[in-house]
Structures are given as C-alpha cells and as structure tokens.
Amino acid sequence: MSAPVRKKFFVGTAGIILFLSIAVLVVFVAFPVVLILFNAFWTKGAFNLVDVAAVLREPDTYQALLNSVFIAGGTTIGSTIIGTFFAWLVTRTDLPYKNFMKGMFLVPFMLPSFIGALAWKMLLSPRAGYINRLFMDYFGFDGPVFNIYSYYGIMAVEVMYLFPFVFIQVCGALERMDPTLEESARISGAGLFTITRRITIPLVLPSILSGALLIMLYSMAHFGTVAVLGIENGIFNIPTLIYERIHQSAGSFAAIRTGTVLATVLVVSAAFIIWLQGKVLGKGRYQIIAGKSFRPMELKLRGLRYPLLILCLAYIGFTIVLPTVVIFMVGGLKTYGLPFTMENLSLDNYKFILFDYKTTKDAIWNSVSLGLSAAVITMFAGVMISYVIVKMKVRGKGILEFLGMLPFSVPGSVIALGVILAWSGKFGVNLYNTVWIILVAYIARYMAFSLKANSAALEQVHDSLIEAARACGASMWQSLRDIVLPLVRPGMFAAFFLIFLPSLRELTVSIMLYAPTTRTIGVAIYTLNEDGETVMSAALAGIALVIIITGQTLITGLTGASVKAK
C-alpha cells in the first residue's frame, strides 16, 4: 500500500522540486565557480600547478595577496577591539542613552563603505582634503595631518564600516547570556573586574571570534574602500587587482588567468574562514542562553560615565555624522574645492542628477529594476531550496546541502569573474554587456541571504503542521500552498529586503560587468568620481543614502509593527 504512494511521491512533486533546486544552484553558482577553478588549473590542455604558482609569484599578484592579508588582519583586529568594547559598554554598564547608542552603532551596516571611503577622501586626501587643508591653512601645519591614501587609511575606513559585525554578535551574546553565570561568580567572592576577565570574556569569546572571522572574510574580499582609496597610491588587494586586470585588458588570456588564480585564492580562503567559524561555534559549545532571569548587573561607571558618553558621541559624530554631512555638502557645491558658503551651495546638482542627467537617471532605474528582479527571483528560489534542505526527506539531498553552502563562500568579485566566463558566448549564451549578466550575478551573490532567512523561517515550522495537512487529505502542493507558504511569509519578506536594499548600493559585481548603458548607482558614483566629477558623484551618493535610509526605516517600521501585532 505504501510502496506505490512513495514511488509516486518521489518522481512527482518532490522530484521536480529537488531537480529544480539543484538546477538553480548549479546554473547560477556552481557552474561559474567550477569554470574559475578550471581556468585556473587547466592550461595547455593539462592540469597545471606550476603555472598557478608562477602567476602567484608575479610581483603584482604577490603584493596584492600580501595587501589583502595585511589590510584584512589590521581591519579585523581594530574592529574586534572597538566592537567588543562598545558592545560591553551598551550592554553591561550604566552608560546614559544606551539604546540610542546601540542603534547608532548599527547605522554603519546601512551605509555603503565605498561612499564612506569617498567622504573620507574628501576630508583627508593629502592636498585637497578639508581636514588636512584646515590644519595647513589655519594651524600652520607644513603637510597633511593624515594621508587617507595609505594602508592605515584604508584600514581605518574599513573598521568604521565593519565593526558592527563584532558589535552585534557580542551584544547578542552578552544580552542572552544567563546572568546567574556571573552572579554565581559574585557570590563566590569575585569582584566585577575578576568576573569580566575570568567568566564573561571567556564565555563570549566564541561570539567575538566568530564576528572577527566574519570581518576577516568580508575584508579579504572587499572591493570598494580599496578601490577608492588604494588605487591612487598603487595599493591593490585581490579584488581590486582582479578588477584592474579584467578592466584594462578586455578579456585577454593572461588577464583571465591572473583573475581566475586570484579568485581561487579568495574562494579557498573564504572556505577556510567559514570552516574555522564553524569550528569556533561548533557543537553548541558554551550553551549560555538564559532561561528565566533577572537582568544582569550593570557596572557603575561613576566618574567615567560622562567621559565615556562623550567618547561614544564623538565616535558617532566623527565616523557617521561627519562623512554623511560631507557627502551632502559636497553634493551641493558648484565646483569641488569651493568653500562651503551659501552662494556656493544649491540643490542644482541633485535636480540635474534626478531629472536631466541621462547617465545617473539610467543608473537609478537600472539599480531599482535589477534589485527588484533579483530580490523576487532569489526569494522564491531560496524558499524552494531551503524547503528541500530543511523539510524534505529525499535521496540526493546531500548534493543540495553541499551546493547550498557554496553561495556563502563565494565573494562578489569571484561571482563576477565566473559569470563573465560562463555567459560570454562560450556556452552558447552571450549576455555580456547587457543588464541580464548583472541580474544573473546578483542572483548568485544574494542567494546566501535568501537561503539563510528562509531556512530560519522554515525551521520554525514544525513538521507536524505539514503532516497534519497531509493527514487531512491535502496533496504536497496543497500543503505547501496553504500551510507552508503562509507560515514562512515573514522569512520571504525578510529575504526580499535583505536582497533589495543591498543591491541598490552594489558595486563589486556591477563594476566588473557594466556596459555604458548598464551602469548601476554604485558604478555611476564610482565612475563619476574616477572621472573627476566629484560633486556629481557626491550628489548621487547623497541620493543613494536617502533611498537606502528611507527604505531601511520603512522596513524596520514594518517588521517592528508586525512583531508587535504578534
């Protein structure tokens, strides 16, 4: 009785879903990555490691590798220290306005770091930077106070935008941590300092390390900041070198080789970092989540309360408010370099960009339509794939679980390069120089977000709910449509915005794939800046900031309202 039913089940709906899921991941993610590995290791008709080593030994590539590691290392250390300190400050002390501070420290998540880099260039470039000029013109300095076109400049800017990764992880751990773990140390006779050192820090160490590794992963593969601040001074990291080679030599064999070898290095390091992160967080080590509990004790800062408040406010003012204000001010200037006086400032640039300038109008339209399409497609694909991974018991699921891990470890520049290899006509389809190639790359790039949000939502849906629907006579399709989809709708909603908003400011992938008519907002800001159109670039960046912040606020309001409604 059960045998024929099961057979029908396998080749029927379940089989189709499994096949489609594997197909989506293979076509969009696995195929481009495999092509990169193939191109890197397969030369002159044979598997060839010597050539790979030769490419890595070229001075330019070798230097780019070193730079990536050095910049990522410095950024990670800096962000971890700052993130952990602020997290501790807003969760465990009696700092005033803690909730406001917590919100502000998360703002950099929203801001695109290359726009930040642009702002810092305006403030601290050696000759023209406003801060440097201020010191040279009015305080008698002979040279610039700080040169942002340097390793330390790049690291500083990356730290400003990446430290929230550690901050949010450590905040979460400190808030969820069972307060009796610390109280039992207190009743054992330990003072607050001893408890922090011997109990609290060791217990949240996995969270600190996991946040740090996330930053390492992000910084290694980070394009924007290094592109804006490094290239000027000849500082390249892996992604910027890939971009430079592909861009300059329009698809020559040597450029593709260097690109694929560097991309392989990125993929391997990303996989290694993710593996390491899994180890750190592995096996639910340190279950410190509280059951019922009283609120943890707050350290009384006493005399340090206001100095630390001022430090926090200064940090927020300096790293968030100042760059944002500079972007908007420069965006209002008639010509870059003029002083900020009323007669030099106007809204003309903004009007021009929004209504008259074809390049930027196109860019905004491209970004919005690409973002919407990518978000919708990836959202639905993500639900389907997560459903198979989380809920279905079918043969062949193992392949899918492996493929499902891939999107998490493939950095943007690798995807872009892979997409070029796959969709430039070699395999019968030529999307190069069209918006479609960017769409394909966006889907691959944001699949990880969708898988994460949807699996989390699906794991909340207990199997018995679906089984109950089947027991009531619903077919698999009907139970999916009537039970599963309504229940995972919040996850899909989350996935949509997790994709749509970041795609509006996407740079890494688009910069490698754009054609004159297919610029995105990110590409337009970047190229305007490269072409010396600093004020236009700043004005467009300002508009992008407005769109992003409005969108984010709307979503926070919407999701906040839906949480309250529950």
Partner 1 sequence: MPHVRLVNVTKRFGTVTAVDNLNFTIEKGECFSMLGPSGCGKTTTLRMVAGFENMDDGEVYVGDRLLSSPAKNFYLPPEKRDFGMVFQAFAVWPHLSVYENVAFPLRIRKVNSAELHKRVTDALTATNLLDSASASPDDLSGGGKQRVALARALAINPDVMLLDEPLSSLDPHLREEMRFEIKALQRRYGFCIIYVTHDQSEAMALSDRILVMRGGVAQQIDSPLNIYANPANRFVFSFIGLSNFLEVHKANNAYRLAGGDCLPEGLAPPPALAGHERLSLASRPAEIEFSDAPNVLRGQVARKAYLGETIDYLVKLGEQSLRVQKARHSPGPEQGTNCGLLLLRPTWYA
Sign of CA dihedral 47, 50, 53, 55: negative
The nearest distance, CB 17 to partner 1, in angstroms, is 38
Choices 116-124, 195-203, 439-447, 492-500; region in contact with partner 1 by CB under 8 A: 195-203
List, in sequence order, every residue forming a beta bridge with 93; answer none if it has no partner.
Answer: 299
Residue 294 is a binding residue for partner 1 (CB under 8 A): yes
Say how far apart CA 529 and CA 403 lie, in whole Å: 38
Task: In angstroms, give the least distance from the CB of 563 to partner 1.
Answer: 25
- Which lies closer to partner 1 via its Cβ, residue 295 or residue 566? 295
b/e string for 489-511 if b means 16 or more Cβ within 10 A?
A: ebbbbbbbbbbbbbbbbbbbbbb
Read off the tokens for 310: 């001022």
Residue type, 546: V
Q: Which residues contact 531 (CB under 8 A, 6 or more apart)?
A: none
- In contact, 333 and 525? CB cutoff 8 Å: no
Query: What's the token pair of residue 329?
Result: 């001010």
Segment interacting with partner 1, rule: CB under 8 A, options 227-235, 242-250, 290-298, 534-542: 290-298
Only segment of 71-79, 245-253, 258-266, 293-301 that touches partner 1 (CB under 8 A): 293-301
Residue 313 as a binder of partner 1 (CB under 8 A): the answer is no
Q: Facing residues of 430 across strands?
A: 424
Q: What angle do CA 156, 162, 166 make, to 5 degrees?
A: 120
560 touches partner 1 (CB under 8 A): no
| 287 near partner 1, rule: CB under 8 A | yes
Question: DSSP 3-state assignment of 43?
Answer: strand
- Residues near 286 by Cβ (< 8 Å), separated by ≥ 6? 203, 206
Among 194, 249, 359, 434, the residue binding partner 1 under the rule CB under 8 A is 194
For 338, the 3-state DSSP assignment is: coil
| Packed helices 201-220 and 151-176: angle between N→C axes, nearest 10 degrees | 140
**What DSSP element (H or E) covers 47?**
strand 46-47
Nearer to partner 1, 182 or 244 (CB): 182
Q: Which of 234, 282, 291, 516 binds partner 1 (CB under 8 A)?
A: 291
By C-beta, is 187 or 342 nearer to partner 1?
A: 187
Write down the least CB distance from residue 284 to partner 1, Å.
Answer: 9
Among 51, 60, 175, 178, binds partner 1 (CB under 8 A): 178
Please, what is the end-to-end C-alpha distance for the chain in angstroms? 43
Residue 498 sits in the site that holds partner 1 (CB under 8 A): no
Instruction: Please report whether residue 197 would count as binding partner 1 according to CB under 8 A.
Output: no
Residue entry with tokens 């800001």: 525
Q: Which of 266, 219, 200, 183 lies closest to 79, judged by CA?
A: 219
Q: How far is CA 268 from CA 37, 99, 231, 235, 349, in A?
A: 11, 39, 25, 22, 44
Q: Does 300 bind partner 1 (CB under 8 A)?
A: no
- 534, HSE (Cβ side, Cα atoms, 13 Å): 21
C-beta of 60 vs 178, nearer to partner 1: 178
Question: Does the protein bind partner 1 through residue 299 (CB under 8 A)?
Answer: no
Q: Which residues on adjacent β-strands are paired with residue 372? A: none
For residue 140, give Cα distances in angstroms to 121, 337, 370: 21, 20, 50
The number of beta carbons lying within 10 Å of the beta carbon of residue 452 is: 18
DSSP state of 429: -
Q: Which of 180, 233, 344, 433 binds partner 1 (CB under 8 A)?
A: 180
Minimal distance in Å, beta carbon 175 to partner 1? 16
For residue 162, what is the DSSP state?
H
Stretch of 162-170, 190-198, 365-373, 453-461 lying at the interface with partner 1 (CB under 8 A): 190-198
Binding range to partner 1, per CB under 8 A, among 291-299, 321-329, 396-404, 433-441: 291-299
Smallest gap from residue 126 Cβ to partner 1 (A): 48
Min CB(158)–partner 1 separation in Å: 31
Region binding partner 1 by CB under 8 A among candidate stretches 11-19, 177-185, 232-240, 530-538: 177-185
Candidate list 12, 96, 202, 307; residue touching partner 1; CB under 8 A: 202
Residue in the structure block whose two tokens are 């018995």: 464
Nearer to partner 1, 287 or 464 (CB): 287
- Distance CA(451)–CA(374), nearest Å, equals 14
From the list 185, 327, 525, 528, which residue makes contact with partner 1 (rule: CB under 8 A)?
185
Q: Any contact of residue 37 with partner 1 (CB under 8 A)?
A: no
Number of residues that bind partner 1 (CB under 8 A): 28
Q: Can residue 434 be called a binding residue for partner 1 (CB under 8 A)? A: no
Instruction: Answer for the pair 161, 215: CB distance below 8 angstroms, yes or no.
Output: no
CB of 178 to partner 1, least distance (A): 6
Q: Residue 503: CA atoms inside 13 Å, Cβ hemisphere, count? A: 30
Q: How far apart are CA 154 and CA 233, in angstroms?
A: 11
Question: How far is CA 14 from its chain centroid?
Answer: 33
Cα–Cα distance measured from residue 365 to residue 12, given in angstroms and rounded to the nearest whole number = 41
Q: Is 280 in the site for partner 1 (CB under 8 A)?
A: no
For position 347 contacting partner 1 by CB under 8 A, the verdict is no
- The interface with partner 1 within residues 205-224 (CB under 8 A) comprises 205
**Does the protein bind partner 1 through residue 188 (CB under 8 A)?**
yes
Using CB under 8 A as the binding rule, whether residue 51 contacts partner 1 is answered as: no
Does 286 sit near partner 1 (CB under 8 A)?
yes
Based on CB atoms, which residue is closest to partner 1, 45 or 191?
A: 191
Instruction: Single out the residue of 492, 491, 406 nearest to residue 444, CA to CA.
Output: 406
Does position 288 bind partner 1 by CB under 8 A? Answer: yes
Task: Write each residue from 234 to 273 as x if it is in contact with partner 1 (CB under 8 A), else as -, in one continuous string.
Answer: ----------------------------------------
Query: Could you say whether residue 282 binds partner 1 (CB under 8 A)?
Result: no
**Does residue 184 interact with partner 1 by CB under 8 A?**
yes
Q: Site for partner 1 (CB under 8 A): which residue of 197, 285, 300, 395?
A: 285
Footprint of partner 1 (CB under 8 A): 178, 180-181, 183-191, 194, 198-199, 202-203, 205, 285-288, 290-294, 297
